[in-house]
Amino acid sequence: MTETNDNQELQTRKINLSYEHFQSGIARYSPHEKELLEWLWGYAHQALNNSADRLAMAVGCDYKVLLNIFNGKTECIPEGFIAAFERLKKRSTPESVLIQTPVTRRIEEALNYARDYHALVTIVGPTGRSKTSTVMDWQIRNNHGKARYVRCPSGCTRRTLATTLSQSFGIGSISQRSNTLEMRLMNALSPRNTLIIDEAGHLMPRRSGGGTLAVELIRDLHDCCGCGVVLVFTDVYVDEMRNGNMKDYFEQFVGRIKFERRIPAKVFKDEVRAVVASFRPNPPEKLVDEAWKIAAAGDGKLRTLFEDLQRAAEFARINSLELDVKALKLSADWRKSGGVWDDVE
C-alpha cells in the first residue's frame, strides 16, 4: 500500500463498534471509569466525526488498545490511560468562550432546566440572537457523553431525525429498519441525557396529513426515556404549532413543554456592550451606540455586528490603531456595498 493510500485510510477509518457493545463492554468498570469512557465515546462521535484514528491520536495510543477497553476486554484500565482520558477531557472542555450577555444567560437557564428536570424545553427567537452559539457552547461544557446536539436539515422526516440522532450516539443506521433504529435509540437514552435539537422548525410538516411526523419521535423519546429535550425554534414555527391549521394535532405535544424561553427581537444595549467589550475592553459609549445601530438595523443582528467588529478590529490592528467608531463604520459600509472592487477597471 502506498503512503497516499495509508493516509486516506487514516482519514476514513471509523470506530467499528456498536453503541450497544460499548455500553455492555464498559459495564464492568468503576463509575468514574464509565463516566470518562462515556464522555470519550461522545467526544469521538460528535467532535471527531467518528474517526478511530483521530481518537487514537488525541489519546496518544493505538486504536486497538482503545477498542479493547471499549469492548470490556481489558481486565483493569491502566492508570496511565485514565490520566490520558482526563487530560483530553480537560483540554477539550475549555472555559466558555461564549460572550456572556443577558440573552445568553437566559438561554443557559433554559438548558439547565431541561438537564436538571428532564423536561421538554423550547428556545424561541429570531435569527442572529445567539441561540445556536449558546446551545453548542453549553453542550460541550455539559459532557459529550450525556448531552447531544443535532441540527435538523430542511424537510426533516422522522427517519432522518432518527438517523441523525443515532449517529450522534454511534448507533449504526445503515440498512436498519426505522422501527429497529428507533428502538436502539430508545435503549441508548435515559434521564441522564439531554437532547438539543436545533432548527427544530424543520420537524414541522409542510401540510396537514403529510405522513408520520418527526416531532412525534421527539415526544416518544421524551415520554419513554425520560430524557431532557431542548428544541430551538425561530418564532414562526412555534406560533404555527399553537395557532395554525394543525394546532389540535399539536395540542398534546405543546402541553408537554414545561419551560419556554422567548428571545425578543429587540437587541438590548447591554448585549451589544458585552460584544464590543470582547474586542475593546471598557469601550467608549459612542462606539457602543454605533454598534447598537448596526445590530438593530439588520436581520443578522448580533451575528452581523460580530462580523463587522472582526473586520474593524483587523483594520485597526493593521494600521496600529485602536478600534473606534470610524473603523466600525468603514467595516459596516464595506459590507453594505458588497465589498469594494478597487482592482477592477
Q: Is residue 15 part of a domain?
A: yes
Neighbouring CB atoms inside 10 A of 73's CB total 10
Q: Is residue 344 part of a domain?
A: no
Same domain, 273 and 257: no
Q: What integer is the mean pLDDT of 87-92? A: 88
* Coil/strand/helix, residue 121: strand
Same domain, 106 and 252: yes
Neighbouring CB atoms inside 10 A of 32's CB total 10
Cell numbers standing for residue 227: 430524557
The rounded percent of the chain whose pLDDT value lies above 70 is 90
Q: Is residue 345 part of a domain?
A: no
Question: Which residues touch 219 (CB under 8 Å, ≥6 apart)?
Answer: 252, 253, 256
* Coil/strand/helix, residue 62: coil
Residue-wise pLDDT for 229-265, tens only, equals 999 998 777 777 777 777 777 787 888 889 999 998 8
pLDDT band at 104 (very low <50, low <70, confident <90, very high): very high
Q: What is the 3-state secondary structure (H, E, C) of 259-276?
A: EEEECCCCCCHHHHHHHH
Q: What integer is the mean pLDDT of 15-20? A: 88
Q: Which residue has the cell 445568553?
A: 104
- Calpha distance 216→185 (Å, rounded): 14
Q: Which residue has the cell 460584544?
A: 275
Structural domains counted in the chain: 3
Same domain, 55 and 152: no
Same domain, 240 and 117: yes
- The number of C-alpha atoms within 13 Å of 9 and in the hemisphere containing its C-beta is 6
Q: What integer is the mean pLDDT of 80-89? A: 92
Q: What integer is the mean pLDDT of 57-81? A: 90
- The number of C-alpha atoms within 13 Å of 342 and in the hemisphere containing its C-beta is 2
Q: Is residue 97 part of a domain?
A: no
Which residue range(s) make up the domain with 216?
A: 102-262
Cell numbers standing for residue 172: 449504526
Contact 88, 80 (CB under 8 A): no
Q: pTM for the full model?
A: 0.81
Our measurement of the distance from residue 287's CA atom to the centroid of its chain's CA atoms, rounded to an integer in Å, reads: 32
Same domain, 220 and 77: no
Same domain, 127 and 249: yes
Q: Is residue 191 part of a domain?
A: yes
Contact 216, 185 (CB under 8 A): no
Q: Which of 92, 124, 150 is the last residue of a domain?
A: 92
Same domain, 70 and 154: no
Q: Is residue 132 part of a domain?
A: yes
Q: Which residue has the cell 424545553?
A: 121
Q: Which of 92, 115, 146 is the last residue of a domain?
A: 92
- Calpha distance 213→26 (Å, rounded): 35
Strand arrangement of the beta sheet that strand 147-151 belongs to:
147-151, 194-198, 228-233, 120-124, 257-262
Best CA proximity match to 228, nearest among 108, 114, 112: 114
Neighbouring CB atoms inside 10 A of 287's CB total 24
- Calpha distance 25→40 (Å, rounded): 14
Q: Which of 200, 233, 262 is the last residue of a domain?
A: 262
Same domain, 179 and 243: yes
Burial of 219 (0-12, 13-18, 19+ CB in 10 A): middle
Same domain, 152 and 233: yes
245: CATH: 3.40.50.300
Same domain, 65 and 164: no
Same domain, 146 and 195: yes
Q: Which residues is 123 bridged to in the sheet? A: 232, 261
Q: Is the dihedral of CA 274, 275, 281, 283 positive or negative?
A: negative
Cell numbers standing for residue 50: 467518528
pLDDT attached to residue 243:
77
Residue-wise pLDDT for 269-321, tens only, equals 999 999 999 999 999 999 999 999 999 886 678 889 999 999 999 999 999 99
Q: Is residue 251 part of a domain?
A: yes
Q: Is residue 342 part of a domain?
A: no
Average pLDDT of the chain? Answer: 86
pLDDT attached to residue 134:
93
Q: Give the DSSP H/E element, type plus range, for residue 92.
A: helix 79-92
- Calpha distance 272→289 (Å, rounded): 9
- Calpha distance 328→334 (Å, rounded): 10
Same domain, 257 and 273: no
Best CA proximity match to 197, nearest among 240, 237, 248: 237
Q: Are strands 257-262 and 147-151 parallel, antiparallel or unpaired?
A: unpaired
